Amino acid sequence: MQPTLPLTWAQRRILNDAWLDLWIYRVDACDGLPPSARAKVIKRVYRQLKQYRSVPCLWVQVDSPGDWYVTALRCELRDQKLMVYIFPAWQEFPIIDLYFTLPIVRWPWPQPQFGCSVFNDAILTKAQKAELKILRCMARMEMAGVKEIASLAGFGVTYTRKLLARLSKDRLIQPFDSGSEKMNKKDPLWAIRRRGLQYVRLSWNIPYKFQFRSIRVEQKYAGRKHRKMCRLFRSRLEKAYGADFQVWQSWSEPGLAYANPDAIVWGTYRRVETLVWLEVETGKKSAEEHVKETVYRFWQAKEITERHGVQLIFVFLAMPWVLRAVAKSASFPLTKCTAVILDNWMDYKHLAKPNFEGFNSLSGDNEFKLEKKSNQFPHDPSFFQNLKER
């Protein structure tokens, strides 16, 4: 069987006797695959290409609405010693700037002895693109309820149900029996089938025989309740922020550099590129452990977003007693591009607005609002005494 790679051959003649064996790998930043997972795919693609070409150069064209996804891929592949060059899709390959680092040879390369097949979503109808978006979300979750799928896909629940019915009819997904009749009636669960996964792999341009499950799925082990909050976070944020926040893409439990946030929402807040970083705590640790871990995760989020030059909205959702502990003892280094939000984990409809270079929260009676600029919560737990579970 002839090998097939998801690449386009674009050999370049630089001078009369100088040739570059150039290959193009196209990436859609909004196709549902986190940058860390996509970076692993790129490495695999390049290593397979090296089996057939001695000095290939891989040009990764990233179709991205912002800069973060491009720079995140570069950071993931920075120390790999691969001839992989990552640029936005609109930017031409800078041969002159990279001339002395490119693998240039003195003869033209022959036609490749393998097939090249790249998924083309431009031929899909609007409905087919919506169905594919649902499948891509489910490929990461594998099993999920209707509301969770709708949230991560960015669709309404009613429209999502119609899409799921069509996908089920096409045998791409199937109902998941949770063993609880009450749960199945209230919020039925769906699971993606093998045919659905194969279609998603094809749409993601995943190389043949690449063991991909451990990379594509959610990257943390979490209980059902915890995971549901992470998956529903995008819809909660969109309801709370409205037109202020334009969502480009969201992921539940993605791997991100050396960190594993509970969820990431990438987009713009008031037209500025922003990452919303979610952490959820279910109150199973001591107050001291919660404070220490929250501060540590904030430092991870701050370091990553500063490296990529985007705004950070750090959202911490927890039980009231955990919020009180963090408010009393946690200290965060804030900047003009950083905001911290602490809110009740059970409130699916509300979320405090970001107060950059400061903190904000909503209590049961809307009492907790910190508008002053500070790098530490007041050492007064009474701010959270009226924080009520909803």
Residues 156-175: tens digit of each pLDDT: 999 999 999 999 999 999 99
Residues 309-352: tens digit of each pLDDT: 999 999 999 988 888 888 888 888 889 999 999 998 888 888 99
Phi and psi, residue 100, nearest 5°: -80, -5
Q: What whole-number percentage of the chain has pLDDT above 90?
A: 63
Query: CA–CA separation, 324 vs 135, rounded Å?
Result: 40
Q: What is the mean pLDDT of residues 80-103?
A: 89
Mind listing the domains of the chain with CATH numbers? 4-118 (no CATH), 122-203 (1.10.10.10), 224-384 (3.40.91)
How much is the pLDDT for 180?
A: 53
Structure pTM? Answer: 0.89
Query: CA–CA separation, 149 vs 264, rounded Å?
Result: 15
How much is the pLDDT for 183?
A: 55
Phi and psi, residue 37, nearest 5°: -70, -40
What three-state secondary structure class fits 187?
coil
Comparing 368 with 195, the larger pLDDT belongs to 195
What three-state secondary structure class fits 222?
coil
Residues 34-43: tens digit of each pLDDT: 999 999 999 9
| Residue 110 DSSP label | P
| 179 pLDDT above the threshold of 80 | no
Helix (H) or strand (E) holding 63: strand 57-63
Residues 130-151: tens digit of each pLDDT: 999 999 999 999 999 999 999 9
Contact 350, 307 (CB under 8 A): no
Q: What is the mean pLDDT of residues 100-107?
A: 86
DSSP 215-235: HHS-SS---HHHHHHHHTHHH
How much is the pLDDT for 208?
A: 79
Length of the chain: 390
